[in-house]
Amino acid sequence: MAETGGGGEGLLFLTDEQLRKGIEAMFFAYRGFTADPDRILEGLDYGRAHHRAVHFINRSPGLTVSSLMAILGVTKQSLNRVLRTLIDDGLVEARIGREDRRERNLYLTDKGMVLERSLSDAQRARMRAAYRTAGPQAVQGFRTVLEAMMDPEMRRQYLGLKEAGS
């Protein structure tokens, strides 16, 4: 545990330069990770906020608007703009809550599922290739690092979603 798999760099004694390289790798990896979906979304006049909403609605059908706001960390006004577009375009359906009629439960329509699948297929292909290149130990280490970087509340949300989808 005192060394990384490739370069033998001590994990407990990371230099500013090693940290800078990690930060830059995250920036460039994120650009790559979002590039394919961005190209798809651009042709539809949607942005990353639409992608995130579609992703989490697909992940948890029936998700309430307030739960989606909490997951995305956005204001109601900001989310309503995104949801209005997705609903008007026939990608998302908002149903009145069964137990609490003030709630709106969100579901992807068939058209929304097609969009979500094309967006996530592109990202899964990129992640699958990277995971295969890195190997199982690196994949687990990568997840551990990402989870350790999350704020405690975000980690709880992530772990809750992870358990719900297991």
Residue 47 sits in the same domain as residue 121: yes
Residue 94 sits in the same domain as residue 151: no
Residue 70 sits in the same domain as residue 149: no
| CB 100, CB 66: distance < 8 Å | no
The per-residue pLDDT string of the chain (166 residues; one tens digit each, 9 = 90 and over) reads 334 444 545 566 789 999 999 999 999 999 999 999 999 999 899 999 999 999 999 999 999 999 999 999 999 999 999 999 999 999 999 998 888 888 899 999 999 999 999 999 999 999 999 999 999 999 999 999 999 999 998 888 888 876 666 5
Is residue 26 a part of any domain in this protein? Answer: no
Helix ranges (H only) for 43-165 are 48-59, 65-72, 76-88, 110-134, 136-149, 152-165
Residue 40 sits in the same domain as residue 114: yes
Residue 56 sits in the same domain as residue 120: yes
* 46 burial level (CB within 10 Å; 0-12, 13-18, 19+): buried
**Predicted TM-score (pTM) of this structure:** 0.82
Is residue 6 a part of any domain in this protein? Answer: no
Q: Using CA atoms, how far apart are residues 13 and 26, in angstroms rounded to an integer?
A: 20
CATH code, 86: 1.10.10.10
Q: Using CA atoms, how far apart are residues 20 and 128, in angstroms rounded to an integer?
A: 26
Number of domains in the chain: 2
Is residue 23 a part of any domain in this protein? Answer: no
Q: Using CA atoms, how far apart are residues 79 and 131, in angstroms rounded to an integer?
A: 32
- Please report, as a single letter, which amino acid is at residue 76: K
Residue 48 sits in the same domain as residue 105: yes
Residue 58 sits in the same domain as residue 88: yes
Q: Supply the range of the domain harboring residue 70.
A: 36-133
Residue 61 sits in the same domain as residue 114: yes
Residue 129 sits in the same domain as residue 140: no
